[in-house]
Amino acid sequence: MDDNNKNLLLATGLSFLVIFVWFILFPPADPVIQPEATETTFTQVDGVASVPQADGTFVTAAPAEAVTPQATRENALAQTDRVEIKTARVAGSISLLGGRIDDLHLTDYNVIQNIDTDKVTLLSPANSATPYYTVHGWAPAGGLDASAVPGATTVWKIERGNILTAETPLTIMWDNGAGLVFHRTIAVDGNYMFSITQRVENTTGASVRMQPYGIIARKGEPDTFGMYLLHEGVVRAQDGEIQEIDYDDMPDETFDPAEGGNIDRIDVVEGGWIGMTDKYWMTTLIPLPGQSFASVSKYTPGNDTYQADMRLPVMEISGGQDAEITTLLFAGAKEVSTIRAYQEEMGIEKFVDSVDWGIFFFITKPIFSLLSLIHGWIGNMGLSIIGLTLVIKTLLAPLAYKSYVSMAKMKKLQPEMAALKERTGDDKQAMQKEMMELYKKNKVNPASGCLPIFLQIPIFFSLYKVLFVTIEMRHAPFFGWIQDLSAPDPSSILNLFGLLPFAAPGPESFLAILSIGVFPILMGITMWMQQKLNPAPTDKTQAMIFAWMPWVFMFMLGRFASGLVIYWVANNTITFTQQYLIMRSQGVRPDVFGNIMSGFRKIREKDTKE
């Protein structure tokens, strides 16, 4: 087996292996666990705060309120008095029972493409089928009774504002009847950032101590994509890095009786944030820059609740004095431009990294930025992907030129290599020696043809990551039947691309892998054409493997995002054109199209004989 064929086979085999390993076997790195955890709360002279729970109670206080029977979302919303939320981008309501933000729709995003009546639902009430909500409040400290602070059954009153809009904040209040008056002002901007200002008036004659907090809670493990490629669960920024905890890992953490649940660790940090992320949507608690807070990820087995907590330092409020604290809540779509603007303008560290860029982030992020730039010029994401391919191929052109010149020389040497193999027979050592002399004599480096293949692997993964995780690709149309570049090509060879009167099998069918569309077929054809330009393996087994490779990849990648397949078709076409022209310039005239016609003639002759 000659060195060139060995290298090509190795490169192709590695490509095949890495794709499967990456998408199926390798999970993202586990979050780094520090050997020593910091204290749960901010210890004070006369005690610490009770631990707040998602149900509005505290571990050291009375048991949680009785669970309300599960209701439909509409019925759950109707059970409490509410204040409407209405901006250009979000709609929903705030429950005056408990003061929870537990009803939020993202009005720019449809559940199903082009169906405006069903908008994406982000937050839902506690007693609905899929509870997902935020709680803000004060935990008692220093001997303060839990009944002195608002909880889940507290009925708040509207103090100012009848509707929450981007122009009109809402203020609600609650008087505990024992000298403490609580005010909460909620504001929202034109996108997805809420600000929560909590103020306490202490009209008693004594000092009181309490701890402000924010909680994001989800009851029951949410539906996820279940792919190692994508993180869904708790995400947080602290100590200059992003840390991720999957939903299914949270119940495996150590149970802490003081917390009433399973926690990974509790870190007191200055700067950062904590939240819960889905593929495209995220809810995040964010202290103002410079505020220290305890970042807590918790699972409570008793009520099957997943929790992300932001606990701020215990505050002492003297008699006759007020205390106030403001925090932020992001609840919306992970639009890169939007969260990057929050990062830059509000000083929210590493907020843009809430998008799961993957281990190739140093390639993925520039690819996304370049793709966004091209899209800004062209306006069509499919054409932008083709434009991105042109840019990448241009940048790699010098390496490609060296590679294709080497392949052209190898192509010229094919007759001599075949003769050498025939002359040496089964003496592999003699064959290797003479082949190396042949390469040296003709100044050929057989390994140089592999470099572009290896460079394409991280680019391929990074582009796939961009297409899979960024919301900018969701429901982005191309032309004709491709109306969502983040979804597979919807056409199918099984119904002759719509000509036969039945639908193609869905993804749940075992026939789905055979249900490939137009672009996957084009990918296979262009890969086969490109392969025909490369030196043919002299070994029959290798030749058979290479002959099948384009069609294996065609079916293997056929159900990937259509945007990725369009990239692959464009990449193959440009590569074929580059290589064909360079080989012609080196005196090699590959007869690819003649081979195609010859194949058709052989088929026709066979049919005629039969």
In tens, the pLDDT along 108-131 reads 999 988 888 899 999 999 888 899
Measured distance CA(89)–CA(165) in Å, rounded: 10
Number of domains in the chain: 2
- Residues 316, 380, single domain; the answer is no
- The CA-atom distances, in angstroms, between 31 and each of 245, 249, 421, 462, 563 are 7, 11, 54, 21, 31
Does the residue 46 lie in any domain?
yes
Confidence of residue 33 (pLDDT cuts 50, 70, 90): very low
Give the pair of three-digit tokens for residue 118: 């069903």
SS3 of residue 343 by DSSP: helix
Q: 229 and 465 in contact (C-beta within 8 Å)?
A: yes
- Residues 338, 482, single domain; the answer is no
Say what the pLDDT of residue 140 is: 93
SS3 of residue 423 by DSSP: helix
- Residues 326, 378, single domain; the answer is no
Does the residue 463 lie in any domain?
yes
Three-point CA angle 359, 360, 364, nearest 5°:
125
| Most confident segment among 22-26, 120-124, 243-247 | 120-124
Three-point CA angle 232, 236, 241, nearest 5°:
115
CB atoms within 10 A of CB 201: 18
Average confidence (pLDDT) over 144-159: 92
pLDDT of 507 strictly over 60: yes
Q: What is the CA radius of gyration of the chain?
A: 31
Of 348, 377, 395, the last residue of a domain is 348
pLDDT of 289 strictly over 80: yes
Does the residue 187 lie in any domain?
yes
Helices H / strands E in the chain, number of each: 13, 21
Measured distance CA(608)–CA(610) in Å, rounded: 5
- The CA-atom distances, in angstroms, between 63 and each of 72, 124, 146, 221, 449 are 26, 23, 11, 23, 69
Mean pLDDT, the chain, as a whole number?
Answer: 81
Does the residue 594 lie in any domain?
yes
Confidence of residue 536 (pLDDT cuts 50, 70, 90): low
Which residue range(s) make up the domain with 302? Answer: 40-348
Residues in the chain: 610
Average confidence (pLDDT) over 69-93: 91
Who wins on pLDDT, 558 or 610?
Answer: 558
pLDDT of 47 strictly over 90: no
Which residue matches tokens 């491709």?
A: 482
Does the residue 358 lie in any domain?
no
- Residues 296, 257, single domain; the answer is yes
Q: What is the CATH number of the domain that holds 311?
A: 2.70.98.90
Measured distance CA(146)–CA(139) in Å, rounded: 7
Give the pair of three-digit tokens for residue 603: 């088929």
Say what the pLDDT of residue 6 is: 45
- Residues 379, 327, single domain; the answer is no
Q: Which one, of 496, 491, 494, 500, lies nearest residue 519 by Cα? A: 491
- Residues 308, 390, single domain; the answer is no
Report the greatest alpha carbon distance in the chain: 108
158: exposed, middle or buried (Cβ count in 10 Å: 0-12, 13-18, 19+): middle
- Residues 271, 189, single domain; the answer is yes
Phi, psi of 323 (to 5 degrees): -140, 145
Measured distance CA(242)–CA(54) in Å, rounded: 24
- Residues 457, 336, single domain; the answer is no
Which residues have CB under 8 Å from 319's CB, separation 6+? 202, 203, 204, 205, 206, 207
The H or E element spanning position 36 is: none
pLDDT of 301 strictly over 60: yes
- Residues 422, 469, single domain; the answer is yes
Average confidence (pLDDT) over 169-179: 95
Who wins on pLDDT, 246 or 59?
Answer: 246
Q: Which amino acid is at 432?
A: Q
Say what the pLDDT of residue 538 is: 61
The H or E element spanning position 210 is: strand 208-219
- Residues 387, 419, single domain; the answer is yes
Which residue matches tokens 């397949």?
A: 565
Q: 482 and 562 in contact (C-beta within 8 Å)?
A: yes
CB atoms within 10 A of CB 18: 16
pLDDT of 182 strictly over 80: yes
Does the residue 521 lie in any domain?
yes
Of 348, 379, 397, the last residue of a domain is 348
Does the residue 353 lie in any domain?
no
Of 321, 348, 375, the last residue of a domain is 348
pLDDT of 9 strictly over 60: no
- Residues 293, 422, single domain; the answer is no
Say what the pLDDT of residue 179 is: 94
CB atoms within 10 A of CB 220: 14
Q: Is the dihedral of CA 138, 139, 142, 143 positive or negative?
A: positive
DSSP structure class, residue 113: T
- Residues 239, 374, single domain; the answer is no
For the whole model, what pTM was predicted? Answer: 0.82
Does the residue 1 lie in any domain?
no
